[in-house]
Amino acid sequence: MTAQIIDGKAFAAALRARVGGVATAFETASGRKAGLAVVLVGEDPASAVYVRSKGKATLAANMASFEHKLPADTAQADLIALVDRLNADPAVDGILVQLPLPAHLDEQAVLLRINPNKDVDGFHPVNAGRLATGLPGFVPCTPLGCLMLLQDQLGDLSGKEAVVIGRSNIVGKPMAALLTAASCTVTLAHSRTRDLAAHVSRADIVVAAVGRAGFVKGEWLKPGATVIDVGINRVEGGLVGDVEFDSAACVAGAITPVPGGVGPMTIACLLRNTLVAAHRNAGVELDEAAL
C-alpha cells in the first residue's frame, strides 16, 4: 500500500470544533442559539441512527436541536404542515427532512416546501440553481465535505482533471458544479458512460458516488490520483465504499476510507450550513471562508 489515508473523521472533528466556537459567539451576538430541526418519518433503523448522531453533534456544537419523529403512515398534508410551522419558527435556522421518505409521500413536494433560506441540505431547486450560477446559497453537505477534503489535500484545484462517477442531485451533480467552480476540468460519468476506466485513468481527482460496493478498481487509476469514496455499502463484515480499497490504495496518492472518510464530513458540513443560515437569518456578519 502506498496511498496516504485521508482522515475525514479527524478533519470533521476539527470542523465541528470550529463551528462550536463560532456558534458560541453567535449566541452572544444574537441572544439565541442557532437551531437545526430534523424531521424523521417512519422507523427505518439506519435513519434513526443518523438522526440521533446529528442531534448529538448539534448539541455538542452549542446549537439547538429540534427532533420531529412522525409515524410511518403520516399523511402528506401533515408533513407539509410541519414544514410550514418550521419555516415560520424563528428559533429554527435549518430544516432537514431525512430521506428517503416512505413510498406514499411525495419527496419532491416536501423539499420544494422548505424555505430555501433554511434548506441546509441544499436540496431545494433554488439552491441547486444558486450553486449552478455561482450565487450564495446552501451546498449539499456531502459534496461540500468532499471539496473541503480535496482542498486540504491538494491546495488549489485549478486545472486538475476530475472525474465524478454518479449523477444524483444529492452528490454527483453538485460535486461536478463545485469542482467546475474550483476550475477543475470535470467529467461527470454515470451508468451509461462508455469505457469508464479510460476516463478514470486520466483523472487527478476521482469522486465515486455510485452506490455499488467496490465498483471502482485500483487498476483504473492514474498513479498518484486523489480518490474520494462517497459510497456507504453494507456488506457481510461491515461497511465498504464504492472503491475497491485494497487495489486502489496501491495506486492512488491519497484515498478516503469507509467508514471514517466522507461520512463524518457530511454531518460536520450540516452543522456548518446551519450556523451560516443562522447568521444570515439573524443579520449577524460571518466570515464564511474562515469556517
Ligand X SMILES: Nc1nc(=O)c2c([nH]1)NC[C@@H]1CN(c3ccc(C(=O)N[C@@H](CCC(=O)O)C(=O)O)cc3)C=[N+]21
Enumerate the active-site residues. 54, 98, 121
| From 66-74, 205-213, 264-272, 278-286, span contacting ligand X (CB under 6 A) | 264-272
65 near ligand X (CB under 6 A): no
Contact present, 198 and 217 (Cβ < 8 Å): no
DSSP annotation string for 183-244? T-EEEEE-TT-S-HHHHHTT-SEEEE-S--TT-B-GGGSPTT-EEEE---EEETTEEE-SB-
Residues flagged as binding site: 166-168, 232
**In DSSP terms, which residues pair with 243 in a beta bridge?**
216
Cα–Cα dist 259/130, whole Å: 31
Instruction: Count the residues of the shown chain that bind ligand X, applying the rule CB under 6 A.
Output: 16
Q: Pattern of binders to ligand X over 21-60, x per CB under 6 A? A: -----------------------------x----------
228 near ligand X (CB under 6 A): no
Cell numbers given for 105: 409521500
- Residue from the set 266, 273, 274, 281 that interacts with ligand X by CB under 6 A: 266
Backbone angles phi, psi at 210, to 5 degrees: -110, -20
| From 22-30, 92-100, 155-163, 207-215, span contacting ligand X (CB under 6 A) | 92-100
- Residue from the set 62, 98, 127, 281 that interacts with ligand X by CB under 6 A: 98
Least Å from the CB of residue 187 to ligand X: 25
Q: How far is CA 175 from CA 124, 264, 279, in A?
A: 16, 17, 25
Contact present, 96 and 65 (Cβ < 8 Å): no
Residue that has been written with the C-alpha cell 485494497 in this structure: 246
Q: Pattern of binders to ligand X over 234-263, x per CB under 6 A? A: -----x------------------xxx--x
96 near ligand X (CB under 6 A): yes
Q: Look up residue 285 and give its amino acid.
A: E
229 near ligand X (CB under 6 A): no
Cβ closest to ligand X, residue 38 vs residue 206: 38
121 near ligand X (CB under 6 A): yes
Which DSSP helix (H) or strand (E) runs through 164? strand 161-165
Residues flagged as binding site for NADP(+): 166-168, 232
- Residue from the set 229, 264, 277, 278 that interacts with ligand X by CB under 6 A: 264
Q: Are strands 226-229 and 233-235 parallel, antiparallel or unpaired?
A: unpaired
Least Å from the CB of residue 217 to ligand X: 21
Cα–Cα dist 20/62, whole Å: 6
Least Å from the CB of residue 41 to ligand X: 11
Q: For residue 45, count CB atoms less than 10 angstroms from its CB and return exposed for 0-12, middle for 13-18, buried for 19 or more.
A: exposed
122 near ligand X (CB under 6 A): no
Cell numbers given for 89: 419558527
Cβ closest to ligand X, residue 186 vs residue 267: 267
| From 26-34, 97-105, 155-163, 196-204, span contacting ligand X (CB under 6 A) | 97-105
Start-to-end CA span in the chain (Å): 33
Interacting residue ranges for ligand X, rule: CB under 6 A = 50, 96-99, 121, 141, 232, 239, 258-260, 263-264, 266-267
